[in-house]
């Protein structure tokens, strides 16, 4: 399987998770009497959803808009590396912080596995199998934190307007601003560590690919 087909497979998996969760969220909102708009607002409040949508864009845009600036931008190593780090963070944070407080069943269980395990695994495996040819910068793992920090600001603003927070560990109403900021900074440090691991793994795989390309014996046996 070449990289284009593999990326299409990642896109299909990510689309399935995002659309299934959208269907579940809107259905529950209508059944509870909250309405579609409220269901959409809550749907887009979660880092998991936004990051899976990020993966959808990274995996879909290069194929659908290959010649456009948008497609080229989403296929750059910096953007894809950010997506890999973010979705890896989603899987880890869910497994460590949320799995014990959330016990989904039925379709919600399927959606949860798609969003938190299968999509992260598929994109990470794609990144390992097909590392970018262009190099990442050593400061990229730090730059990638703009995404989660931007989300944190969004959560705080959303909380000020509606007094609702998507996650208990950044719920200002329950734990206060001080603890919320401490938790956010701790998570940001974990994010940087994951980004650094992605950076190191990328360098390692690029070196392997270069070795295969420059060594005829290695290329033949590989």
Walking along the chain (222 residues) 10 residues at a time, the average pLDDT comes out as: 88 97 96 92 96 96 83 91 97 94 93 97 95 90 96 95 91 95 96 96 86 62 46
Q: Quick check: helix, strand or coil at residue 170?
A: helix
User: How many of the other CB atoms lie within 10 Å of CB of 77?
Assistant: 19
Residue 192 confidence (pLDDT):
97
Number of structural domains (the chain) is 1
The range of the structural domain enclosing residue 204 comes to 3-221
Angle at CA 122, nearest 5°, toward 118 and 126? 175
pLDDT of residue 105: 93
């Amino acid at each position: 399987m070449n990289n284009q087909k593999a990326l299409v497979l990642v896109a299909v998996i990510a689309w399935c998770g995002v659309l299934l969760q959208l269907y579940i969220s809107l259905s529950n909102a209508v059944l509870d009497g909250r309405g579609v708009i409220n269901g959409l607002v809550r749907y887009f409040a979660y880092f998991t959803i936004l990051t899976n949508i990020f993966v959808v864009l990274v995996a879909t845009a290069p194929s659908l808009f290959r010649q456009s600036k948008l497609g080229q931008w989403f296929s750059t190593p910096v953007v894809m590396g950010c997506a890999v780090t973010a979705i890896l963070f989603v899987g880890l944070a869910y497994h460590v912080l949320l799995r014990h407080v959330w016990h989904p069943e039925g379709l919600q269980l399927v959606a949860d596995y798609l969003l938190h395990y299968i999509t992260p695994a598929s994109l990470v495996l794609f990144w390992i199998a097909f590392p970018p040819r262009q190099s990442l910068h050593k400061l990229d793992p730090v730059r990638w934190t703009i995404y989660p920090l931007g989300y944190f600001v969004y959560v705080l603003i959303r909380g000020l307007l509606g007094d609702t927070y998507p996650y208990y560990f950044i719920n200002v109403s329950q734990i206060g601003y001080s603890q919320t900021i401490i938790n956010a900074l701790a998570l940001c440090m974990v994010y940087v560590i994951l980004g650094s691991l992605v950076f190191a793994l990328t360098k390692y795989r690029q070196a392997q690919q270069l070795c295969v390309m420059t060594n005829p014996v290695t290329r033949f046996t590989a």
